[in-house]
Every structure is written in C-alpha cells, then in structure tokens.
Chain A
C-alpha cells in the first residue's frame, strides 16, 4: 500500500510539474532578420516562465495564413498564432475556433493600458476579447538612403514631391529611384500609403470605411492614382520580390528609397545603420504626418488539454508585460501597444512614431476596415497596374471604384 501511495504521489508530482513545463507551438510569419530577432525576444520571455516556445515559422504572410487556417479548420490547432488583427480572423471567431481570453485581459487590465484603444477593439467581437495585440505597425513611411543621394550629389528629400522630383537625377546617377518588391500586398500597401498621405483623412475613411464608390471614383482619389503612376515610373527597374530585399537595396545605397511599413526599421537595425545619418524616415511621406495603427496580434485556438490552456494563458499575459513589450518592439522596429512604458532607447524614427501616436495623429489600418477578399482584389489590380505601364490611371481608378462598390 505504501509503495502504491508513493507511486501515486510521484505520478502526481510529475503530472503537476508537467503542467508547468508545456511545449506550446507558436506559428507566425516573422522570418526576416529583424523579425526573427524580435520573435526571439518573445520566445526568450516565454521560456523563462519554464514553458517551451516551439517555433513554427512560415515565410510569407499569405502562405502562413493558408496553413494556419487549414490546420484550424482541419482540427489540428496549434498553441497560438500570429495574425494581423482586424477582419482576417472574423470568421474563425464566428465559427468558435478561437479561445475567448476576456478573463486574462480583465485580470491584466488591458482596457486601461492599450493605446490606442482601437487595437483592442479590433480584437473584440460582441464584447469578448479574442486576441492579444503585441505591436503597432504603420505603413506610412518613406525610407531614404543617404548614400544613394550623396553618390548622386543631391540633398536628401524631405517630402514626397521633392522625392519624385529627384527621381530623374537618381536615374542618371545609376540609382534605382524607388525600390519596390513585386508582390501584391506591397504594391497595395504603397498605394494605401499614398492615399493616406496625399489626401485628407475623410476621403480615406469614406472609401475604406464607408465603401463609398462615388468618392473612390472622384477627383481626390484621382490624385492618388496619379502619384501611383509616378511611383510606377520610378520603380520600373525594380525586379526584387521580397520587401526585405528591396529594403536591402536602400541600405546598400543602390536605391534612393522605399515606401514600406515601419518593420523595415528592423532591417536597418540589423545592418547597424543609424537613423538620421545613414538613412532618413519620413512618416506620412513627409506630407501628412500620421500613422495607421494596424499591427500584429496573437490568437489562441480553442484547446482541450488543460496544461496547454494554462500555457496559452501565461503566454497571452506575458506578451503585454512592459519588459516584453520593450524588448520585442525595439528589435522589430514597431511601436508598443501600451503608452505607459519607457522607450528612451528607441532611435529617431521610432521617436517620431511615438510622438505621432501620443498626438493622436492616427488612422485605422485597412486590414481593420476591409475583408481579405476585397484586399485580394485590390492587390490583383495593383499587381497588374505596376507591371504594365499601358494601364492608364483612369482605367485603374474605374476598376478600383468597382471593387469598392462591391466591398462588404
């Protein structure tokens, strides 16, 4: 009897300690240098709790999302996964595949600390919270290479118009004026950035939030398309595919600039470039200084294993703790989701972003406003537009307006 009791106790201890050392599979698409460094910070913090972060990275957001969704709908859920929060996860939540983490959010007081509140709203469906936002990403940045402008004997531009004006001189100096990856999401992002920077906010919201096709066909949007045609001209010799390859052209001074979200910052950091001396960043293209507040969030599938659920809770709570937020966001070049932490270690560009955030110069991200279906249609339009210079600005705008007209 005694032996049995001992064995039972031993089993109980093993089982209990097992609960504290869970392997949790986390899926994400952070594979570039800066991104991998950032995800390493999250993993380190999670491992420090005694659990184990099992990394499952898939390169490319589109490919990763396809795998994640098939695994969820196929009944083989992972421990946690990254999504751009917003409307991508809407249907997964409706189908009851994702775990309601409202209790954790309440215990940690997320409603008080998350700034801007729209980030948490994007995680909320019918009053329940389903995801943990980890950072704020904004698309509206123009990255400029000082080396390229020095080589061409030009001053570094301070806004979009000066940048466009400098294009021919850059071309003559053998530099690519605008580096752009040939992927739909990058081309769509570039267009949306021009949109946010060059026309008033009301127009942006009328098109993407209210889906007003008349505005989309109007004169304000025509200006955006004209600017997109300039960008097409400037990027006509850009043959790279991935965004980080395009960023690398800017880092090495082969290209004058790139329009890319603030995650490009991580690449400059990995290459040990200094903001202000090696490269410049212009939020809102130097025209309208504002940022869209999209970002990444982690979702937690519904699981049955108690130990796994406990590990999920631990990870969710951990992601918004101040130290994790600082370490993660410094590596990734994104802004933290809470306004109450000290980011004095951040460089010039991040400080600009923080200041804009504090001023409330913000827009919602398109991922929070339009469905992936509409986003894909817009991507297809711009893949075509940027590859084929025979497509006129007017034709493209008519197609754009018809996409907005059918958007939900």
Chain B
C-alpha cells in the first residue's frame, strides 16, 4: 500500500467535470434566486423590485392577514391527510397486487393512470364529480336515495377535503407503483422463513417487510411531500380558492400577491416563509437520515 492517499478532490475526475454545469446552474438559479428573494422580502417592492428597506413590515402584515393564516391551516390539513392516506392506500393496493393475482398489468395500469393526468385536468374532473347538479350526488339520487347530499366543494368548512379527494385519487397510484417495486425487491426467502416460523402475513408485513423497505419509503416520502408543499394548480383548477377563501394555499397566496396585487415584497415574504417551514422540517430530518450514514456499514 502506498503511504500517500490520492487527493479526494481529483477522484472520479470525469464524473465531476460532467456535473459542473448542473452544479453551476443549481448554485446560480436555486441558491442565487433564493438569496435574492429573501433579500427583497425586506423591501417594499411593488410591481417591480426596488431596494427600499422596510424591515420586517412585510412579515408583520403577512402574519396579520387572514388569507395567509387560512392558507397555512389548509396546507397543514391537506398535507397531513394526504401523507397518511396516500401511504396507507398506496401500500395496501401494492400488497394486494403483490398476491400474484391475474391481470396484474391491467389493474396496475388502471390504478396508475390518474397520475398521468395533470393537476389541472384532475381538478376539473373532480370539480364536476363533486358538483351536486351532475356529479356523484346526482347519480346516487338517481338510484333512489333522494336525500343523499355530497357537495363538499360548496361548503366552506369541508371544501379542502374535496380537494383532498382529488389529490389522493391522483397520487395514490404513484405510491402504489413505488411500493410495489419495493415489495418485489424483497427476497422470497424472507417470506419462506416467516411462513416456516408461523408468523401471520399481516405481522410479517408490519414487522419485517416494511422495515426492510425503508429506502423506498424515504424516496416516496420526498416525492409526496414536495408535491404537497407546491400544491397550486389543483386548487386553481378545482376551486379557485373558494368558496370564499376556504381553500387558499400558500403557493396561491404568493402568486396572487405578486401578479394580482402588484406587491412583490409581500409575495417574497410569503415564499420565504414557505422556504423556512420546509427547511425546518427537512434539515433535521436530513441530518438524522444522511448525517450518520458514515457510521453505518
């Protein structure tokens, strides 16, 4: 063995050179753009950015605005419900399909199909489905249940759940496919061993298989969470933020402020708050998840 270790910086030279354009783009566009936005959130920029400092005024106004508070609350409700339900539904579907059933390809395609639709189409489809005049309510009443009422989009208290239905319909297919890939990655010997030990199937899933699928869960979590935070188009297509302001979300608040109210400073302050929230969740988690990886095998 040679006594001097090769310089880490020059290992895999060609790979590193190939990554330079992406690194530069990421630094300039993402980091640069982020810093610019944060800086201008402390100004009173209107239609055009201008450097006139107003301190924390934009943030004070933001947190005193009902529309923003409603947006945050909606994102929390939507995010938590979406996260839990989409994982449960996606995993159950994947586990069912994994039972070596017939027509697996067909069923998998059907369930994944909604994911191929854009949020705008999804939003419009579910706007119609939930419309009492010609949607689910009309169909069920047509069957004879005259008093049946199902119009979540028309009641301010529950409208966000109407959006949630559309989100789950669209998103659970993707989670199912990812989970299915994870399940297929489990060695058949594990199943044989659990059967030999007489462990019930559900117990095997929860205590053996799911812990083994940790990487798949992490990947899925990242995909689903980023989808939740940036939700905008589904809302615009399905409810337009209504009835009233009951389905407003932070991303829409940012857009409305920047392009309708001609108040860039306020929009920047709101997007900075979104960034801070995400960072507060992601950074501790990333440290836990990846920071300790060197100590593992």
* A interface residue numbers (CB < 8 A to B): 62, 65-66, 69-70, 73, 88, 90-92, 95, 182, 241, 371-373, 375-377, 380, 383-384, 386-388, 399, 406
Inter-chain CA distance A402–B259, complex, in Å, is 23
Contact B259–A66 (Cβ < 8 Å): yes
Chain B, 36-66, CB within 8 A of any chain A CB: 46-48, 61, 66
With A372-B261, A373-B261, A387-B156 as known contacts, state yes or no: A95 contacts B48, CB within 8 Å: yes
A-B contact pairs, 9 of them (CB 8 A): A62-B260, A65-B260, A73-B48, A371-B262, A372-B47, A373-B262, A373-B263, A388-B156, A388-B243
- The answer to whether B263 and A387 have CB atoms under 8 Å apart is no
Q: How far is the CA of A181 from the CA of B194 in the complex (A)?
A: 63
Task: Please tell me which one of the listed residues A66, A377, A384 contacts residue B244 in the complex, with CB atoms under 8 A apart.
Answer: A384
**Other-chain contact of A377, B48, B156, B261 (Cβ < 8 Å):** B261
A191 to chain B, nearest CB (A): 15
User: Which one of B46, B48, B240 lies within 8 Å of A373 (CB-CB)?
Assistant: B46
Pick the contact of B47: A69, A384, A386, A387 (CB < 8 A): A69
Contact present for A387 and B46 (CB under 8 Å): no
Residue of chain B at shortest CB distance from A239: B154
B244 touches A388 (CB 8 A): yes
Which residues of A have CB within 8 Å of B266?
373
Task: Please indicate the chain B residues that have their CB under 8 angstroms from the CB of A70 in the complex.
Answer: 259
Contact A406 B61 (CB under 8 A): yes
A375 to B46, CA, bound (A): 14
Pairwise interchain contact B262-A88, C-beta atoms closer than 8 A = yes
In the complex, B138 has a CB within 8 A of chain A: no
**B67 proximal to A (CB < 8 A):** yes
CB-defined contacts of B67 to chain A, threshold 8 Å: 380
Q: Which of B199-216 contact A (CB under 8 A)?
A: none
Contact of B245 with A by CB under 8 A: yes
When chains A and B are docked, how far (Å) is the Cα of A399 from the Cα of B66? 10
Distance of A160 Cα from B256 Cα, bound (Å): 34
Closest approach, in angstroms, between the C-beta of A125 and any C-beta of chain B? 14
A293 to B243, CA, bound (A): 32
Contact of A66 among B66, B156, B260 (CB under 8 A): B260
Q: Which of A88, A92, A182, A375 contacts B242 (CB 8 A)?
A: A182
- Is B74 on the interface with A (CB-CB < 8 A)? no
Within 8 A of A (CB), among B217-253: 240-246
A-B contact count (CB 8 A): 64
Residues of B within 8 A of A69 (CB): 47, 259, 262
Query: Which one of B245, B256, B257, B260 contacts A384 once the chains associate, using CB atoms below 8 Å?
Result: B245
Q: Are A91 and B262 in contact (CB under 8 A)?
A: yes
Per the bound structure, the CA–CA distance linking A377 and B61 in Å amounts to 11
Query: Whole-angstrom distance between the alpha carbons of A91 and B48 in the complex?
Result: 7
Give the shortest distance, in Å, between A69 (CB) and chain B (any CB). Answer: 6
Chain B 59-101, CB within 8 Å of chain A: the 1/0 string?
0010000110000000000000000000000000000000000
Other A-B pairs beyond A95-B48, A376-B261, 12, CB < 8 Å:
A69-B262, A70-B259, A92-B47, A376-B256, A376-B257, A380-B245, A383-B245, A387-B245, A388-B243, A388-B246, A399-B66, A406-B61
Q: Specify which chain B residues have a CB less than 8 angstroms from the CB of A376 in the assembled complex.
A: 256-257, 260-261, 263
Which residues of chain A have C-beta atoms less than 8 A from B260's C-beta? 62, 65-66, 372, 376
B residues within 8 A CB of A399?
A: 66
Q: Which residues of B contact A386 (CB under 8 A)?
A: 244
Q: What distance in Å separates the Cβ of B134 from its nearest Cβ neighbour in chain A?
A: 13
Residue of B46, B61, B244, B259 near A383 (CB, 8 A) is: B244
> What's the minimum C-beta distance from B55 to chain A, rounded to whole angstroms?
15
List, in ascending order, chain A residues with CB within 8 A of B46's CB.
91, 371, 373
- Of B244, B262, B266, chain A has the most CB atoms within 10 Å of the CB of B262
Nearest 6 Cβ contacts at the A-B interface: A387-B244, A376-B261, A66-B259, A91-B47, A387-B243, A372-B262
Q: Are B242 and A387 in contact (CB under 8 A)?
A: yes
Q: Which residues of A contact B257 (CB under 8 A)?
A: 376
Q: Which residue of A lies closest to B244 (CB)?
A: A387
Bound-complex Cα distance A384 to B66 (A): 10
Chain A residues with CB under 8 Å of B263's CB are 372-373, 376
Count chain B CB atoms within 10 A of each CB in A65, A372, A380, A406 and give the residue with the most.
A380
Taken together as a complex, chains A and B put the C-alpha atoms of A92 and B243 apart, in Å, by 33
**CB-based nearest B residue for A388:** B244
Q: In the bound complex, what is the Cα–Cα distance between A62 and B46 (angstroms)?
A: 16
A271 to B241, CA, bound (A): 32
User: With A and B bound together, what is the CA distance between A183 and B96 in angstroms?
Assistant: 46
Least Cβ–Cβ distance between B256 and chain A, in angstroms: 7
Give the distance to chain B from A204, nearest Cβ to Cβ, in Å.
Answer: 22
* CA A95 to CA B47, docked complex, whole Å: 10
Shortest Cβ distance from A89 into B: residue:
B47
A residues less than 8 Å from B256 (CB atoms): 376
The answer for the CA separation of A366 and B102 in the assembled complex, in Å, is: 67
Q: CB-CB < 8 A to A91: which residues of B?
A: 46-48, 262
* A372–B61 CA distance with the chains assembled, in angstroms: 16
Name the residue in A65, A241, A375, A376 with the highest tally of chain B Cβ atoms < 10 Å from its Cβ: A376
Complex: how many Å from CA A65 to CA B261?
10
Write the nearest CB–CB distance from A380 to chain B, whole angstroms. Answer: 5
Instruction: Give A373 to B156 CA distance when docked, in angstroms.
Output: 25
Q: How far is the CB of B59 from chain A (nearest CB, A)?
A: 14
Cα distance A373–B65 when bound, in Å?
13
Roughly how many angstroms separate A246 CA and B72 CA in the complex, as a whole number? 33
Which single residue of chain A is at the shortest CB-CB distance from B258? A66
Shortest CB-to-CB span from A13 to chain B, Å, is: 42
Question: In the assembly, what is the distance between CA of A373 and CA of B261, in Å?
Answer: 4
| A380–B67 alpha-carbon span in the complex (Å) | 8
How far is it, in angstroms, between the C-alpha of A241 and the C-alpha of B243 when the chains are bound? 11
Complex alpha-carbon distance, A92 and B262, angstroms: 11
Chain B contacts for A383, CB-based, 8 A: 241-242, 244-245
